[in-house]
Amino acid sequence: MKIPHHLLPVPGASLKRLGLAASCLLVAASLFACTPSEGGTSAANNPSGSTGPKHKSDDPGDDGPLTPATQPPKATGNPLQGVKLWVDPNSNAMLRANSIRAKEPEKAAILDKIAKQPQALWLGEWNSNIYRTVEYNIEQAKAEGATAAFIAYNLPHRDCGQESAGGLKTADHYKHWIRRIAAATHNDKVIFILEPDAIGLLKKDNCLSEAEQTERLALIKDAVWVLRKNPNAIVYIDSGHAHWEPANVFAERLKPAGIEDANGFALNVSNYVTTEENTAFGKKISALVGGAHFIIDTSRNGAGSAADNAWCNPPGRKIGKPPTTETSDPLIDGYLWLKRPGESDGECNGGPKAGVFWIEQALEMAK
């Protein structure tokens, strides 16, 4: 990303939070996953046919008729209260920790500080079968009495052609994709965070025309309505972080994006801004959008932002507050790990491609 305050996020992110590789090589003696787990193709993301779904498939596919979404009931209260967050056993951090545990137990123990925490799974064009990816991971979480969290990151013109460039080609492609995700939930409890950076990048560098900006906001609102057709789905819209645009700017963009119909908004996805700063920022936004609740990504903000607000692999960053739904603040539903620590922001400061697990960074963050 070229925006210095940009979280890329999560995941703020850029391809850093991304995971564009469509397949992964598991190096023989090592279980190190080369594909980023934010959108990678581990067993959890692309399960084999041998692990069949427990539901009869209602996958609407990519080319059927598009059914208009209907407005969901008004969301109230804290939907995360009492929710057990799911730990992905196939995350890159977990696979890497397990692969070195016998020979390098001290390093594995450090990686466990990341691997054993619940973290969101990123969804995008890298998922070969989005319906099965969502369905499978929800089933894995349910088997443990937990709830999976997903980040939808696939809007047309994603990241304005910068480090996380990609996304689906047209609005209709995106609508089909979201409807497949919604169908895969089977009304099970699930958490969604919609489109990191999408509203933060509006009117930035003139990367989107007025028509494209309007389309983007309409697509996010459509996604809110479609996903919340499941009465057990919890949906937050990404709203940048405290070092980006002023609160009133984000508030005005959240309104046409459907904040009134979502469960709230998300802050700091893939960024490093402190929880305290984002709390104050979030409360300003909330007051401007009818008292909406919010969540904060604390995965990498333990040391706060870099001095120059650098977003791409700034050195010296640390993991933050462990994920929890107990916040003691009536407006904050949870402190979640939305960006997966240890996955590169991009080829900068010595890092590999965006989304690839970088063990040196992971160890530095978790020590």
In the chain (367 residues long), the average pLDDT of successive 10-residue segments reads: 32 37 32 34 34 73 94 97 97 98 98 98 96 98 98 93 84 98 98 97 86 97 98 98 97 98 98 98 98 98 94 96 98 98 92 92 98
Residue that the structure tokens 């059914």 belong to: 67
Rounded distance between C-alpha atoms, residue 273 and residue 259, angstroms: 23
Position 82 scores a pLDDT of 96
Rounded distance between C-alpha atoms, residue 69 and residue 121, angstroms: 25
Please report, for residues 15, 23, 80, the alpha-carbon distance to residue 19 in angstroms, rounded to integers and kept in the order given: 7, 10, 27
H/E element, 365:
helix 359-366
Residue-wise DSSP of 43-60:
TTTS--TTS--SS-----
Residue 46 placed within a domain:
no
Between CA 85 and CA 94, with CA 88 as vertex, the angle to 5 degrees is 130
Contact between residue 153 and residue 182 where contact means Cβ atoms under 8 Å apart: no
Show the domain range for 281.
92-366
Residue that the structure tokens 């169908």 belong to: 183
Residue-wise DSSP of 272-298:
---HHHHHHHHHHHHHHTTS-EEEEE-
Between CA 204 and CA 164, with CA 8 as vertex, the angle to 5 degrees is 80
Position 54 scores a pLDDT of 64
Residue 259 placed within a domain:
yes
Residue 177 placed within a domain:
yes
Rounded distance between C-alpha atoms, residue 135 and residue 23, angstroms: 19
Residue 339 placed within a domain:
yes
Tell me the catalytic residues.
Answer: 159, 197, 345
Residue-wise DSSP of 153-197:
---TTBGGGSTT-B--SSHHHHHHHHHHHHHHTTT--EEEEE-TT
Contact between residue 220 and residue 199 where contact means Cβ atoms under 8 Å apart: yes
Dihedral (CA of 270, 80, 231, 253) sign:
negative
Which residues, 6+ apart, have CB-to-CB distance to 209 below 8 Å? Answer: none
Position 57 scores a pLDDT of 87
Q: Is the pTM for the entire model greater than 0.75?
A: yes
Residue 286 placed within a domain:
yes
Of residues 303, 341, 334, the one with CA closest to residue 94: 341
Q: Helix 92-100 and helix 105-115: axis angle, to 10°?
A: 160
Q: Which two tokens stand for residue 188?
A: 């099970």
User: 89-126 burial by CB neighbour count: b if 16+ within 10 A, else e?
Assistant: ebbbbbbbbbbbeeeeeebbebbbbbbebbbbbbbbbb
Residue 266 placed within a domain:
yes
Residue 74 placed within a domain:
no
> What is the tally of structural domains in the chain?
1
Rounded distance between C-alpha atoms, residue 32 and residue 34, angstroms: 6
DSSP assignment, residue 326?
-
Residue 210, domain CATH: 3.20.20.40
Residue that the structure tokens 């979640």 belong to: 336
3-state SS of the chain: helix, strand, coil percent to 5? Answer: 30, 10, 60
Residue 86 placed within a domain:
no
